[in-house]
Chain A
Amino acid sequence: DTGVSQDPRHKITKRGQNVTFRCDPISEHNRLYWYRQTLGQGPEFLTYFQNEAQLEKSRLLSDRFSAERPKGSFSTLEIQRTEQGDSAMYLCASSLVRGLNTEAFFGQGTRLTVV
């Protein structure tokens, strides 16, 4: 396993369209996270899964956003009715719970541009 994989790497969409991103975590990692990063900023936490359960969601995750991890392996992040403000890099990370250390490994991200 070479790391966290995200698809697609780039997505350009028209405002109002729906988009879906996929993340494949490192095998056997039971936690999966989604972050959003805009230009000049650090990543911002969106949500995380412990296996298939979505346990925490940030206030940044509006009703237009939905994330799933149906079998506790890969995850999808869908944005409905995209807005220009959704343009950002969407980062996925995974970790193996080991005590209190959350050593998260990040994918290369999906860059979304809403035109």
Chain B
Amino acid sequence: GEDVEQSLFLSVREGDSSVINCTYTDSSSTYLYWYKQEPGAGLQLLTYIFSNMDMKQDQRLTVLLNKKDKHLSLRIADTQTGDSAIYFCAGAINQAGTALIFGKGTTLSVSS
């Protein structure tokens, strides 16, 4: 079945770029998503990419998709302390997109 894997931790200094990586096993998902979760808060949709695209840029966020390698990444430029959170990549289990499968999340720690 579908599986989504992420590295568990990333530590960067304020102002640096952060790159969070994700690999997945099933490419049936039409869209792939990045969610952010802060302590005590729900999941916040950050951005998403259509599976036919290679790249999407949204202000400080850049999503890269390599369908051949089934690899998705999220780059955060000029990382701020407020970016400290857990980041989840997610894809749909089926083409209808009615159920998402999430990775275990990458904890991003930003030090000043």
Contact = CB atoms under 8 A, between A and B. Distances in A.
Answer whether A and B are interacting partners.
Answer: yes
Interface of A: 4, 31, 33, 35, 40-45, 48, 55-56, 58, 91, 93, 100-109
B45 A42 contact: no
Interface residues of B, number: 26
A100 B48 CA distance: 12
B98 A41 contact: no
A8 to B, nearest CB: 14
Nearest to B51: A100
Closest 10 CB pairs of A and B: A42-B102, A102-B97, A106-B43, A45-B99, A108-B42, A106-B42, A100-B30, A43-B102, A42-B88, A42-B104
A41 B40 CA distance: 15
Given A42-B4, A107-B42, 13 more contacts: A42-B90, A42-B101, A42-B105, A43-B100, A43-B102, A45-B93, A45-B100, A45-B101, A56-B98, A58-B99, A100-B95, A106-B35, A108-B40
18 contacts: A40-B105, A41-B104, A42-B105, A43-B43, A44-B102, A48-B99, A56-B98, A56-B99, A93-B43, A100-B95, A100-B97, A101-B48, A102-B31, A102-B100, A104-B100, A106-B45, A108-B42, A109-B42
